Amino acid sequence: MATTLQESIEELLPEIIALRHELHTHPEIRFEEVWTSDRIATFLTENGIEHKRGYAKGTGIVAWIKGGGERTVALRTDMDALDIQEETGLDYTSTIPQRMHACGHDGHMANLCGVAKLLNGRRDELKGTVKFIFQPAEELAAGGRYMVEEGAIADADAVFGLHCWPTLPVGSVGFKSGAAMASADMFIINVTGKGCHAADPGAGVDPILVAAHITTALQSIVSRETNPWDAAVVTVARINSGFASNVIPETAIMEGTFRALSEKVRLRLRDSIERIATLTALAHRARAEVIFSPDCYPLLYNDEAMTKFVRDTAESALGSERLIDLKYPTMGAEDFAFYLQEKPGSFFFIGNNPSDTEPYPNLHSPHFNFSDDALPTSIELMSAVAIRFLAGL
């Protein structure tokens, strides 16, 4: 008798949970995922799943399972951890100081390994090829862009990804069609004044005061220059200047980010930041140079038809009471956006809060931990998405 997806998942779950805990103890940040990449490759080899290594500066992996048929579907996970000291107290806590899987990418990897193992056992039923994209450096360094540029999904007809979501209950899945996650740009503003004795400010130009004026003036972009119906965020996250209480320094360095839900708004924010920073500095006899990071994350736009397809798949696999239609996009960013610029697809959100009543630590918190109880839902949904997409359903 054929086993159901749920029965197969129940069987492989202990191994996948153990793998998740193992990955959790070895967090590695952007492009340093060497141990992680080796561990994933070992898992794939042990299960007889073909794969190619060396993507995205070395740690990225693309694996594939070929069934009978022309269609190809790509499923993606991120691999990297964060520069955070873990404070969960788990018995499988991070063994590396100042490194932590605080965004659940350990769970995303374990999930994709589970999906790969499950579908490998059913390769005779697959009506096409499933590709598994293990991508480094989701945080800050746009690893997804490298995978796309290196052709990881060039032959795919569609691409799907997920993220654990601590504001949704375990067992549920969140969907957002269209603009789902904001674009994210980083900026640096170098303010140059003129250093002097702190007791004689007229002899110099105080870059700290100028940085403060710029910070305040930048807040007028969202409040005074942006249509209230257009979501936008401008944040100055860091100002660095000065060494002593009796010296007005020569320079100040400001860093921040801006977020938008459309390319039009994004470009307008960029222009406004440059204009306000440089001219505010000039007004105060200083100079400001604005540098925008080339590693911008584009807007994550979920294809309407593909999002409906995943939602319909979830409804038939999990039942409608576990589906959540998210009302608002998030101003957080995701480099899955690069895949969606290349191919149609959808990015969905796997509930991660085990409690019905208590809030759960948020992503990037030193207390966050991916909930193992979310794995049966994520493995089942992602497997069903691949099977149904290849079958043309």
Contact (Cβ atoms closer than 8 angstroms) between residue 345 and residue 73: no
Measured CA to CA, the distance from residue 140 to residue 312 in angstroms comes to: 33
Choose the stretch contacting Ni ion; rule: CB under 5 A; options: 98-106, 179-187, 278-286, 342-350. 98-106
Taking the least distance from each CB to Ni ion, the nearer of 103 and 147 is 103
How are beta strands 158-169 and 345-353 bridged, if at all? parallel
Supply the minimum distance, in Å, between the C-beta of residue 139 and Ni ion.
Answer: 7
State the binding string over 56-95 for Ni ion (x if CB under 5 A, else -).
----------------------------------------
Supply the minimum distance, in Å, between the C-beta of residue 21 and Ni ion.
Answer: 18
Q: Which amino acid is at 331?
A: M
Q: What is the DSSP secondary structure assignment for residue 56, as one 8-state letter?
A: G
Binds Ni ion (CB under 5 A): choice among 81, 103, 147, 232: 103
| SS3 state of residue 273 | helix
Choose the stretch contacting Ni ion; rule: CB under 5 A; options: 87-95, 103-111, 195-203, 232-240. 103-111
For tokens 């409804």, the residue is 315
Measured CA to CA, the distance from residue 192 to residue 279 in angstroms comes to: 13
Supply the minimum distance, in Å, between the C-beta of residue 161 and Ni ion.
Answer: 10
Taking the least distance from each CB to Ni ion, the nearer of 103 and 261 is 103
Choose the stretch contacting Ni ion; rule: CB under 5 A; options: 64-72, 96-104, 145-153, 211-219. 96-104
Choose the stretch contacting Ni ion; rule: CB under 5 A; options: 52-60, 90-98, 101-109, 312-320. 101-109
Q: What is the DSSP secondary structure assignment for residue 32, as one 8-state letter?
A: -
Tell me the CA distances in angstroms from 297 to 267, 291, 301, 308, one per residue in order.
13, 16, 12, 24
Supply the minimum distance, in Å, between the C-beta of residue 152 and Ni ion.
Answer: 18
Measured CA to CA, the distance from residue 9 to residue 193 in angstroms comes to: 63
Q: Which amino acid is at 353?
A: N
Taking the least distance from each CB to Ni ion, the nearer of 301 and 347 is 347
Choose the stretch contacting Ni ion; rule: CB under 5 A; options: 99-107, 118-126, 253-261, 291-299. 99-107
Measured CA to CA, the distance from residue 383 to residue 115 in angstroms comes to: 6
Supply the minimum distance, in Å, between the C-beta of residue 342 and Ni ion.
Answer: 20
Measured CA to CA, the distance from residue 44 to residue 51 in angstroms comes to: 7
Residues lying near Ni ion in the complex (CB under 5 A): 103
